[in-house]
Amino acid sequence: MAIEAFAIDLDGTLLVGEDIHPANIKAIQRAKAAGIHVMIATARWSHIARRIGAELGINDLIVCCSGAQVHDPATGLDVFDHRLPADFTAALFAICNEERCVATVTFDDHVEVKMDGDGSNFAGLGDEMSFTPQLSAKLDNPPRIAAIQGSGCVARIRAELGDVFAQTVNIFDSIGPTGKIIITITAKAATKGAALNAACAHLGITSVEVAAFGDAENDIEMFKAAGHAVAMGQADALTKEAATFVSLPHDEGGVAHAIDRILTTGGL
């Protein structure tokens, strides 16, 4: 079956730090010219994905917040939207407020960053982002995703909340922009795999017609849903095992290497 769409992760896959590998830009342009949908599929929020999409000249659906949201830039509407449960959010915020950590929490169109200090040393805040010294649950606007970095805080979250909320939330390892492991937390129904299925239904294709690209644990459900799964060469062993093809590392143009193979041979 022909590949009709790509679903491409950002950090550790399409991006090297905050930059797009030049080979990936060229390959995506070739894919677009060939009529293939190019969807960004990221743990980050829609604003970042839209900015990167504009840089690439693509305007396809965005799987963001690690699968908690599928956003259509063309209409400004969401195709898929799942939020963290209120009881879990309250318990999570209490731990984050007690521990040293960087907690990035995405709500509707706003992202809060909780970290130690006054936030003055936190560079790169987009207009949609703000610093807060303490997280506060908002019943009228529950978060889509929380991304947490900080060994003590992460250990407490896993120990105190992991089993208790195992039926209602996902806690996955992910790769942040700096290359460090962070945990991404979403509602149970919110995975990149479920979001990919919703995106495909909206486009009128099946997920079997998709090649998914990723590098970390939160990409595995997307790999399971897709007909083809491309792991970056530096990915961990579990992610590589879930893939149907292991490409070059992300900093060697791993996305471009796989796309060129697909465009040349029709498959992987």
Burial of 180 (0-12, 13-18, 19+ CB in 10 A): exposed
Least confident of 86-90, 117-121, 192-196: 117-121
pLDDT band, residue 173 (cuts 50/70/90): confident
Question: For residue 34, which phi and psi values (nearest 5 degrees)?
Answer: -85, 0
β-bridge pairing 169-175 and 181-187 = antiparallel
Cα 241 to Cα 101, 215, 235, 256: the distances in Å are 31, 11, 10, 21
Q: What pLDDT is attached to residue 207?
A: 97
Q: 10-43 burial string, b = 16+ CB within 10 Å, else e?
A: bbbbbbbeeebbebbbebbeebbeeebbbbbbbb
pLDDT band, residue 116 (cuts 50/70/90): confident
Count other Cβ atoms within 10 Å, centred on residue 189.
Answer: 14
Q: d(Cα 165, Cα 87) in Å, to the nearest integer?
A: 9
Q: d(Cα 67, Cα 54) in Å, to the nearest integer?
A: 21
For residue 57, is it left (φ>0), alpha (ψ between -120 and 50) or beta? Answer: left
**Predicted confidence (pLDDT) at residue 121 exceeds the cutoff of 70:** no
Least confident of 180-184, 190-194, 196-200: 180-184
Q: In percent, how much of the chain has pLDDT > 70?
A: 95
Question: What is the arithmetic mean of pLDDT over 126-155?
Answer: 91
**Predicted confidence (pLDDT) at residue 267 exceeds the cutoff of 90:** no
- CA 120 vs. chain centroid, Å, equals 26
pLDDT band, residue 117 (cuts 50/70/90): low
Query: Is this model's pTM higher than 0.75 or not?
Result: yes
**Predicted confidence (pLDDT) at residue 184 exceeds the cutoff of 70:** yes
Q: Are the beta carbons of 109 and 69 closer than 8 angstroms?
A: no
